[in-house]
Amino acid sequence: MGMYTLLNVAILLVLIGILIWMQKKHFSFTKRVFTGLGAGIVLGAILQWAYGAGSDILTETTDWYSIVGSGYIRFLMMIVIPLVLVSIIQSIINLEKTAELGKMASWIIGILISTTMIAALVGIVSATVFDLSAEQIEAGQAENERGTILESTLEEVEEQTTAQKIVSFIPSNIFLDMTGDRSTSVIAVVIFSVIVGIAVLGVRRKNPEQAEMFTKMVNALYAVVMRIVTLILRLTPYGILALMANTVASTDFAGILELGKFVVASYVALFVMFVIHLILVGLFGLNPFIYLRKAIPVLGFAFTSRSSAGTIPLNIQAQQHALGVDQGIANMSASFGATMGQNGCAGIYPAMLAVMIAPTMGIDPLSPGFILQLVLIVGISSFGIAGVGGGATFAALIVLSSMNMPVALAGLLISIEAFIDMGRTALNVNGSMVTGTLTARILNKLNVKTYQDKSAIQEAPEI
């Protein structure tokens, strides 16, 4: 480790020390999260200014910072599958009627897919208003190489029909899916958990003693898993600090300026869809500003980590403890929202690319037929999008290939992919949180008192 790298690591350790001091002085979790976020931005900007993007010192520094940042994400990913498995089984076996499960799943999936289709419309409008076109983007060597890779990836994607993709959700080896081997592993674990839960309800009617024994085991395991989640979430401010520092330090600001029009159009679309989420919350008789205040800590982590799946533990905790969402609905909406109906990655992004490409193929992107086809394809293809960085590219491949359009454009945006993906991931997670809140409201499973309690915020890590 060089002298400058050692100095940079020492600075990070000092900032971590400040966050530890804030915790001992009982600063709120939200304040510590945003202190870490702000400090990370400043530190990352200073590092890039001092050493220059791509320098050996900066590369070595971010490598060491990854111990804290990427290490934190790995801890979260470690607990995702056990959390989804145990929490959904526990939620189902505590249901009074099996019919409640069908209602919960139907509303959650329905809202997720519907908002994704609305997001596609928002993406179409934004691309049109900003007059975006594929011809405006120049390709360099890196972009051309990325486009070639996407073309080869497309061949693998096209081998599966829509029906085959749906069948792939069903687990054939649950132990393999518990390793997170597939992009649809979370959905597969959810399906397995639902089957186990329903089986326990059946056993309870015929052999209540065995069902009771299993229920006690699951409840005990759930308590242990939630304690692990609590321990990991305590590391959130430090993880966000390191993640944000690395992100800003390695961001290609020249690329952002070069493709500034697309960046602005993307974030305008993301902002508009975020406002639509808040309007939906208000239409169901809930104060959207209270929702926003309670969701911000989770969205801040989603923004920095670029991982919907990694945000599942924070998502569930916030829905339950801060928003008053029923435990079962919170578990299911967070799990489903990480792999389907992602408003940013599967809705806005593919729709914008399709509108940009359409004129180059002699297609009017504002024709009703084109819009209807695009929105429907976006809705269908939004199932099984991986909840980690890169999911948007996969969604774009599916949508563009289904529309018989070239996919190389997604490769031309490589220089700004990470920067835009931060906003997309935050919108994805917000969509799943709104879905859980609205579903709980519709099914009368929302604790309105907890929702309206301004002091009931995401403080679970202090337990």
- Show me where the domains of the chain are located: 3-462
The CA dihedral of 385, 387, 389, 395, to the nearest 10 degrees, is 10
pLDDT at 430: 95
The rounded mean pLDDT for the chain is 83
Flag whether pLDDT at 367 surpasses 60.
yes
> CA 366 → CA 8, 35, 120, 323, 370, distances in Å?
51, 44, 13, 39, 7
pLDDT at 335: 83
Residue among 349, 309, 408, 359 nearest 133 (CA): 359
For range 356-366, the mean pLDDT: 85
- Please return the burial class of 380, using the count of CB atoms within 10 Å of its CB with bins 0-12, 13-18 and 19+: middle
Q: Quickly state the pLDDT bin for 160 (edges 50, 70, 90).
A: low
- Give every CB contact of residue 331 below 8 A, 6+ residues apart in sequence: 84, 87, 88, 91, 316
396 with 385: CB under 8 angstroms? no
> CA 102 → CA 63, 245, 284, distances in Å?
46, 44, 21
Which of 18-27, 66-75, 152-161, 268-277 comes out lowest in average pLDDT? 152-161
Residue among 398, 341, 374, 362 nearest 164 (CA): 398
pLDDT at 76: 83
Percent over 70 (pLDDT), the chain: 84
pLDDT at 277: 96
Q: What is the DSSP letter of 15?
A: H
200 with 211: CB under 8 angstroms? yes
Quote the CA–CA distance of 90 and 334 in Å, as a whole number. Answer: 15
> CA 340 → CA 115, 264, 334, 337, 403, distances in Å?
11, 25, 10, 5, 20
Enumerate the H helices of 94-207 as residue ranges: 99-129, 141-158, 162-167, 174-177, 185-206
Flag whether pLDDT at 145 surpasses 60.
no
Flag whether pLDDT at 259 surpasses 80.
no
pLDDT digits (tens, 9 = 90+) for 175-200: 888 887 776 777 788 889 889 988 98
Q: Token match 């929105």: residue?
A: 375
Flag whether pLDDT at 366 surpasses 80.
yes
pLDDT at 136: 60
Residue among 315, 322, 312, 281 nearest 298 (CA): 315
29 with 459: CB under 8 angstroms? yes
Fold of 3-462: Proton glutamate symport protein (1.10.3860)
For range 207-223, the mean pLDDT: 89
Enclosing H/E stretch for 339:
none
pLDDT at 211: 87
pLDDT at 390: 56
Flag whether pLDDT at 374 surpasses 50.
yes
Task: Answer positive or negative: Cα dihedral of 442, 447, 449, 452.
Answer: negative
Q: Quickly state the pLDDT bin for 300 (edges 50, 70, 90).
A: confident
pLDDT at 462: 45
Question: How far is the first Cα of the chain from the last one, in angstroms, to the nearest whole number?
Answer: 38
Flag whether pLDDT at 372 surpasses 60.
yes
pLDDT at 463: 39
Flag whether pLDDT at 399 surpasses 90.
no
> CA 319 → CA 83, 91, 203, 247, distances in Å?
15, 14, 30, 27
Quote the CA–CA distance of 318 and 338 in Å, as a whole number. Answer: 15
pLDDT at 95: 72
Q: Quickly state the pLDDT bin for 143 (edges 50, 70, 90).
A: very low
Percent over 90 (pLDDT), the chain: 28
Q: Quickly state the pLDDT bin for 268 (edges 50, 70, 90).
A: very high
Flag whether pLDDT at 458 surpasses 60.
no
134 with 409: CB under 8 angstroms? yes
> CA 300 → CA 69, 218, 415, distances in Å?
14, 32, 22
Backbone angles phi, psi at 316, to 5 degrees: -65, -45
